[in-house]
Every structure is written in C-alpha cells, then in structure tokens.
Amino acid sequence: MFDGLWAGVLNRFARKSKDSVAFRQSAGLLEAWVSIIGNILLFMVKYILGTLIGSISLIADSFHTLSDVLTSVVVLVGFKISGRAPDKEHPFGHGRGESLATLVIAMLLILVGLEFLVQSVKRLLDPTPVGGTVFVVVVMLLSAVGKELMASFSIWLGRRIDSSALIADAWHHRSDAVASGLVAVAIVGAIFKVYWLDGLFGVGVSLLIAYTGFQLGRSSANYLMGTSPGENILACIKEEAAAVCGVAGVHDVNVHDYGSRLAISLHVEVAAGMDVHEAHLIADEVERRIGEKLNADTVVHIDPPD
C-alpha cells in the first residue's frame, strides 16, 4: 500500500548513488536514521508515561523501543563497514558486516529481554497498583501503529536491496508494535483495578524481546557459518549457464555469499574432444552471464560429459 511512498523516499535519499554498492549503502543508512529518530521520540514518550503511572510493562516496552535505537546504530555501523571497498585482507569486500550487525542486535535483545523478565516476574508475584488512563491507552495504540509503519518500511527496503539486517530490524520494530498493543491491554486492566495484568504482560513483552533476539541470532549465525543459498539462486545459476551455446550440463555449484557480492564456482560439461580454446570461450561466457546477473565473481571448471 505504501510502496510508492517508500520508493519516493528512497530515490530522493539515494539519488547520488553511482553504483549498486553505493545505492545499497544509502538504503541501509536511510533505514537506520529513520529508525533512530523515530525510536528516540517513542522511547521518551513511553518512559515518561510509564514512570508517571508506575507501569513496569510500559517501562519495559520503552526500553524495548530504546533497544531499537541501539540496533539501528548497529545497522548504521554495519552498513558503513559493508560499504567499504575490497582490500588485501578482504578481497571479496566487507558485505558480511551486515550479518555481524544482526548478531550484535540479537545479543542486545536477549539481554534486555532477560533483564525485564526478572523484573516482570517480581511484579507478577507482588502486584503493585498501576495508574492508567484512556489517554495512555491511545498513546500506546498510536505507538503500535507507528512501529508497524516503521516495520513495513524496513521490510520493503530490506527486500528491495536483499538485506537480512534490514529485515531483522523490521521484525524488531514489529515485535515492539505487538508489545505496545499488549501494554495497552495491561493499562486497560489497570483502569479496572486488575493490577496483575501489568506484570503478566510485562512477562509477555520480555519473552517476546528475548525470542526475537534468539531468532535473529540463529539466522545471522547460520549465514556467517555458510548456510546454503536459496533454491532460486541455484536455479538462476544453472539457467544462465545452460543458456550458453555448447553447455551440455551443469553440476557442483558452490556459492559463497559476501553480502554485497557472491563468489560462485561451478562445473560445466562440454562435448568430448572439444577444442581447448573453444571450451575456454564457453567458460568465459558462462562467467560473464552469471557475473552480470548476480553481481558475482564466477569461476567455471570445464568437464567432459558425464
């Protein structure tokens, strides 16, 4: 629904980007700054209201929002690192800086979740009267809407540039939107003197924070350990190779993902007895097609028919 709006914002922000790497970095920095500014404002509102009415679930939710600021700073640093050009120590660039940023985000989330889980359990076992008004409920619901809009923007942008870090940050925003909704319900309970709801939903918010951190940590760790590429990538590689005249078969495809660039190796079968020079030209054409299609460094090994 907001695709046109998001596209306009991105094109305006990244209009000076001269290549795909620069465009990708500009997109990541845009998401990070939008998140930082928006979350600082939301944190201040939630924390002040939570302190005024004495709500542990609202204070926990405010620090969940503050953790979003920290994660966005990590995203900012991650994209700064990933945008660096290849060097002697990193011949394939620094693209995995995004996944390192995601892993740091995950650890921060788990720590914040566990800390507030302890406080929320204490409040659940010893309920404390909590103030609450319809105004606070409305503020929390508006906060949930705002966080969902930020999540929508981050997911759109993450898919636009194929960034796991931005999609991870989006789910962080979305978990905060859900948390704000739960806190709104807790405040409604406080209005009707059902004070134990505050501790209960504080536990719910805390578990949501920790679970989100675990999921993000697992996905980024799998990526850094070299998880297999998606079926669509493998299919694209085989399709591009098979399209070259003289290619009789494709096998042993290996893909190493470095974020902004792929390193691909594959075996291509050609007719038995083919001239070496002709086979070399076929290999060059396969490397060119795959490299242009997937922004990859490609190496082809020539095999006789199997």
Q: What is the pLDDT of residues 163-212, one digit of tens each?
A: 777 877 787 788 778 777 877 877 788 788 777 777 787 788 788 778 87
Nearest of 108, 83, 103 to residue 259 by alpha carbon: 83
3-state secondary structure of 192: coil
Tokens representing residue 250 in the block = 């494709």
Give 119's contacts (C-beta < 8 A, 6+ positions apart).
Answer: 56, 60, 202
Helices (H), 54-96: 56-82
**Spatial separation of the C-alpha atoms in residues 265 and 255, rounded to whole Å:** 7
Domain boundaries, the chain: 3-224, 231-303
Least reliable range by pLDDT among 65-74, 127-136, 186-195, 297-306:
127-136
Angle CA 128–129–135, to nearest 5: 130
CATH top class, domain 231-303: alpha beta
Residue pLDDT, tens place only, 229-274: 777 888 888 899 989 988 888 888 888 877 667 788 899 998 887 8
Give 27's contacts (C-beta < 8 A, 6+ positions apart).
Answer: 10, 13, 14, 157, 160, 161, 163, 166
Least reliable range by pLDDT among 68-72, 140-144, 245-249:
68-72
Fold entry, domain 3-224: Alpha-lytic protease prodomain-like (1.20.1510)
| C-alpha dist (Å) from residue 131 to 49, 134, 186, 279 | 10, 11, 11, 78
Confidence at residue 267, expressed as pLDDT on a 0 to 100 scale: 92
Sign of torsion over alpha carbons 73, 28, 170, 90? negative
